[in-house]
Structure 1
Amino acid sequence: MSKVLENLRYAKSHEWAKIEGKFAFIGITDYAQHSLGVIVYVDGGEVGRTVSQFEEFGAVESVKAASDLLSPLSGTIVEINQEVIDSPESVNADPYANWIIKIEMSNQKEIGNLLDAASYQKLAK
């Protein structure tokens, strides 16, 4: 069974969001990294780009597949985790510590559109 953290919110597309004030750190879930296999490439998009909730912002590629990354929340990308770009396999090692982008949220009400840990756990079986 995939690891799910209680303090995060989840998208049905298997991205997570860690909310810190007006910012959100975004990455992929343990379920997603396990399904993809060994991750060999991460594209975090561009700093300064504005994304809408559930809009594609980047991509992740593994030895098995490529997948678009969708932003769980609307906002502006303010930081890309260069460590993940340089060492994509770090997402496999710990998908919750190794976030991909940080956004400044433009609509915190959207958090209510995301799943809590219990709801996501049911989805990711």
Structure 2
Amino acid sequence: MRMKENVVVVKSTELALEIISFCEVLEAKRKFVVGKQLLRSGTSVGANIREAQHAESRADFIHKLKIAAKELEETKYWLELCEKAPSYPSMSKLGPLTKELGLILGKIVSTSKRNSKK
């Protein structure tokens, strides 16, 4: 019997791995400040999603996913700075991945909230 793949966990892990790779590029270009911030926020998304998988209650689950969504927004901010700053590299693959993960998180949170009111 095979368990169904948890899409939000898979996508957040994919994001973290891409962020790590991109931050290595930033480090090689000596863009340490933004690289460090991006590494923290980008990997924190998945860490909070993983924590949510073992939440103590539905409210705790929703709270942890909301934190993940906030970290994702911060990640988007740092990526946007990289995109717009002429001396910084950008990583086009990360934009669609962050957007997709944001939509998934939003849907899970709204569904969980709706189901908790029943």
Q: Tell me the TM-score range normalised by the shorter chain.
A: under 0.3
Task: Give the TM-score of the pair, scaled to structure 1.
Answer: 0.23
Bigger fraction of residues in helix: 2
Bigger fraction of residues in strand: 1
Q: Which protein has the larger Cα radius of gyration, Structure 1 or Structure 2?
A: 2
